[in-house]
Structure 1
Amino acid sequence: MTLETLEYTEASLPPGSLGLPIVGESLEFIKNKNFISDHQKKYGNIFITSLFGTPIVFVGGGDEVNFILSNENKFFQAFPVGNVKSLLGEYSLSLQTGETHLKRRKLILKAFSPRRLASYQETIHAITQSYINKWAKTDSFKWYDELRNYTFDIASKYLISLDNGSETKLCEYFKSWSNGLFAIAPPLPFTKTRKSLVDRKKLIKLVDEIIQDRLSSSQTYDDALFHLMDAELEDGEKLSVEEVKHQILLLLFAGHETLTSSLCSLCRNLSLHPDILSRCKEEQSNIPHNPDINQSSMPYLDKVLLESMRIVPSVVSGFRKVLKECEIGGYKVEKGWLVFYQIDFTHYNKETYPNPHSFNPENFNPAEHKELVKSSNYIPFGGGVRECIGKDFAMLEMKIFASSLISQCDWELLPNQNLEYDLVPLPRPKDGLITKLRIN
């Protein structure tokens, strides 16, 4: 079935327009930054278009998105866009499918066991305190830039036992590599994509040197790299060095870039809502310094964290390829199409959240919302077999950071800055969230 012969007058197909032959609606998509929202107003939360020669179904809504995420390998398959495949590497967990993906995921999950996370609290507290002390001595700083270094220090320590990772060449190459990860442009000379590919080689070389040192040493490490090198699959086979390198790149990205976005959003939301911050401070005043997060009761902070990830999820959308014809929300979706699911749209469901664009931790308070965090209307970490593998690590780090910051510091956002978000590749305040901070 070609784009030219596909008829959108059929009731069973999603509403929408293919636009021009081959080109589809690509030109309008490029020119109109409100392309998606305009189409949603016109067609509803499910519509079809054609971009760059491919029919794409845009999908929002908890049940509909949950259907996509929970039917991996049956109706849908992960689909990397742009230069993701060449930059992550063919062995990356995010690109693997079927049984291979499930077996690798099960193995990697062991690196994030509750025991390992509990033992890492002290390290996160120490790194957090060092950054708070640094920020207090600075006239002003961009929270996004600083949090990028902060999360890299924590991730590199946890994953490869590297101290002060943000001050190393590894971080320099990593930032360049990740900046091009979702770029669409081909790797032509002087492009972001080209530099990203060049620095990926340097990054892989540094990771390989660490692995080779481990292979020639009898020393043991309590980090994710040691686990990946030592772990065995169900048939007794071990991961190759090449695959280990690719998985470490993915884990660095997942434990760094997405968490940076979430923490920056938390700081922004607390800054813009002093009444909520005041309640957080009151709660923290009754909690000891550097608490055991797993043993401390912080119910209001828990709600604030959940709401912050609702209103600005660190990953707002994703693609899947349709493996088999199916129905989404009552509409027929053809094999070979792409579906573009929208987490942010799902989080703004008015039936679930009465004022969806307002920051309100009480969304997670009423009795009828007790199961909300388990429902298809709240998916900040995705869902199904591709749910974020480090979500417990992320929540631990966010809670330690928030508890330390709120209990020790006062801060203010400096005037004359743009607080709106750039959403691509990941949400971040346009001017980086320029801040002045002091310790109480």
Structure 2
Amino acid sequence: MTLTDSPALREATGPRLGLAHLLRLRSHPDTHTAWLRERYGEVYTLRVFGVDMHVAHGPDAFEQVFVNRDKVFASGPAWSHFIGPFFHRGLMLLDAEEHLHHRRIMQHAFGQDELRRYHRLMLPHLRRHLAAWEGVENPRLQQMFKALTLDLALEVFVGVDLDDAQRRAVNRDFVDAVRAGTAVVRRPLPGGVGPWSRGLAARARLERFFREALPAKRREGGEDLFARLCAATDDHGNEFSDDDVVDHMIFLLMAAHDTTTTTLTSMAYQLARHPRWQDRCREESLAAPEPDVVGTADLPSLDLVMKESLRLCAPVPSIPRIATRETSIGGYRIPAGAFVTTSPYTNQHDAAIWPDPQRFDPERFAPHRREDKAHRLAFQSFGAGVHKCIGMHFAGMQVRAVLHELLTRYTWSVPPDYRLPIDLTALPVATDGLPVRLVVRTGRST
């Protein structure tokens, strides 16, 4: 009996997603997802961005799709549909042996010695940025974090000095490239208007930026990631071509500052709303002579806050795959060639795994509770399987370094009734930039 003939399998059903559903999922992901699950079950089909998308919920589905033991689900063609023209041949747009080959070479740029080196490069720039925040009127932390993380990424990843206007231009190009992936009209329009056209133009400028810098980087080397990728080889001596280096740098630079900005914003928001946790984290930072840039032993409370903030606001809210052959998920038939997605954002708000899931409670991850152990993939913010985020340790190092410095220099707060408004059009963005009251700590050491 074939898979299609199996009486136990059901068709994944659901509404053809129109503008109303799209807006509800973007503005109220938890409540509207709960409504869809109640009405249509754990797997349903939505019409989104020109394709039928099979949406699968829960950690079991996440494990099946992303651990991918049966090698049914492909990452490259799924992501290529959304962001391929703007981030083509980035690591998560590759599969199978090609992905493994590129990952092996790239892994040498993310070892522990490299993380320590990046931390040394980053620290003076980080401290200079944070010192300048003392004079900022009406501070909006997400916007400030985005400028900071781009500056750090350019310094640590690229090693190229840019003036303020050039930095703003590069930042704008990354914003345009990311948001183009969720454009409703997915083709260039006359006159270069629309998100798709802007994303293509942004990609072309980013390519020029890296190609112009590449010959000197290959010739002169350096301690930044750009130089490391130019020099990196696998165990057989294979290295990246110029095209490979450019493609990986564009993708990694986007990931390094966009997802880190989301994490920093979420953490800063939660610490502003929960001053006891802010004080607790500050006490540990003040007691630590220097944070461990690879591990978490020196700043355990900050590590708990980071995990809980990632749980509440996954930096990549939904991850797509394509089924390379007919299969099933949770008793639902998935045809060959179908798009499948599951959402860390909504899965990490699932009350079946996380009690009182909307509540900020970092102790969930403490040794005496470990709610994340309810399922081996209850916590999904870095993905799973062979495509698990290669930069997760770099991201953790950077986030801890930024928050450590911020905690020792400032206090910050929001009004008691303030709630962070999140736009999930692409990656999570605070629509108001996270306005805070930022105060220099009295008696702090300089």
TM-score under structure 1 normalisation?
Answer: 0.88
Q: Which residue of 2 aligns with 1:3?
A: none
- Name the Cα RMSD after superposition: 2.8
Q: Partner residue of 1:178? A: 178
Aligned partner of residue 375 in structure 1, secondary structure: coil
Q: In structure 1, what is the Cα distance between the partners aligned to 2:34 and 2:356?
A: 18
Corresponding residue of 2:137: 139
Segments of 5+ residues of structure 1 without an aligned counterpart are 1-5
How many Å apart are 1:250 and its aligned residue? 0.4
Instruction: Please state how far the C-alpha of 1:85 moved relative to its aligned partner.
Output: 0.8
Give the partner amino acid of 1:115. D
Closer/same/farther in 2, CA of residues 165 and 68 from structure 1, 3 Å limit: farther
CA contact (8 A) 1:62 1:376 kept: yes
Give how far 1:180 is off.
2.6
Q: Is the 8 A contact 1:136 1:439 kept in 2?
A: yes
Q: Describe how 1:278-427 pairs up with structure 2 within 5 A.
A: 278-288=279-289, 290-294=290-294, 297-369=298-370, 372=373, 375-413=376-414, 419-427=420-428
Cα 1:63–1:211 shift into 2, 3 Å: same
Distance, in Å, in 2 between the alignment partners of 1:412 and 1:428 is 19
Q: Percent identity?
A: 24
Q: Which moved more, 1:413-422 or 1:400-409?
A: 413-422
Counterpart-to-counterpart distance in 2, 1:139 and 1:32:
34
Distance in 2 (CA, whole Å) between partners of 1:319 and 1:68 is 9
Please list, as runs of the form range in 1=range in 2, the aligned pairs for 1:210-249 lying within 5 A after superposition: 210-215=213-218, 217=219, 219-233=220-234, 236-249=237-250
Distance 1:141 1:130 in 2: 17
| Structure-2 change in CA distance of 1:244 and 1:293 (3 Å) | closer
Deviation at 1:50, TM superposition (A): 4.5
TM-aligned CA distance change 1:72 to 1:252, over 3 Å: farther
Match of 2:39 in 1: 42
Do the aligned partners of 2:273 and 2:416 also contact (CA within 8 Å) in 1? no
Q: Which residue of 1 aligns with 2:72?
A: 75
Structure 1 contact 322–338 (Cα < 8 Å) conserved: yes
Give the direction of change, closer, same or farther, for the CA distance of 1:27–1:308 in structure 2 (3 Å limit): closer
* Superimposed CA distance per residue, residues 50-73 of structure 1 (whole angstroms, 9 cap, x where no aligned partner): 557744321121121011001177
Decide which moves more: 97-106 or 155-164: 155-164
Listed as ranges, the gaps of 5+ residues in structure 2 are 442-446
The correspondence of residues 165-204 of structure 1 with structure 2, limited to 5 A, is 168=166, 169-185=169-185, 186-188=187-189, 189-204=192-207
- TM-score (normalizing by structure 2): 0.86
Partner of 1:112: 110
Aligned-partner Cα distance in 2 for 1:31–1:427? 14
Change (3 A) 1:51 1:210: closer
Inter-partner Cα distance in structure 2 for 1:253 and 1:338: 24
Structure 1 residue 83 displacement after superposition: 4.7
Deviates more, 1:80-89 or 1:175-184: 175-184
Please tell me the residue identity of whatever aligns with 1:102.
Answer: L
Matching residue's letter, 2:158: I
CA shift, 1:276, in A, is: 1.7
Whether the 8 Å contact between 1:45 and 1:60 is mirrored in structure 2 is yes
SS at match of 1:68: helix
* Structure 1 residues 227 and 334, CA gap change in structure 2 (3 angstroms): same
> Which amino acid counterpart does residue 188 of structure 2 have in structure 1?
P
**Distance across 2 between alignment mates of 1:266 and 1:357:** 15
Larger proportion of helix = 2
Partner of 1:61: 58
Letter in 1 for 2:385: G
Question: Mean alpha-carbon deviation: is it higher for 118-127 or for 430-439?
Answer: 118-127
Aligned match of 2:439: 438
- Structure 1 residues 180 and 418: alpha-carbon distance in aligned structure 2, compared to 1, 3 A threshold: farther
* Number of the residue aligned with 2:83: 84
Classify 1:347/1:107 alpha carbon distance in 2 versus 1 (closer, same or farther; 3 Å).
same
Residue 13 of structure 1: aligned partner: 10
Task: Tell me, yes or no, if the aligned pair for 2:273 and 2:413 is still in contact at 8 Å.
Answer: no
Distance 1:282 1:209 in 2: 46
- Report if the CA contact (8 A) 1:420-1:430 is conserved: yes
Measure the CA separation in 2 of the matches of 1:414 and 1:202: 41
Quote the residue 2:444 is aligned against: none
Query: Post-superposition shift, 1:324?
Result: 2.1
Instruction: Indicate if the aligned counterparts of 1:157 and 1:163 stay in contact, CA closer than 8 A.
Output: yes
String of CA shifts for 1:354-397, please: whole Å, max 9, x gaps.
Answer: 11111100111253528739930001111111111100000001
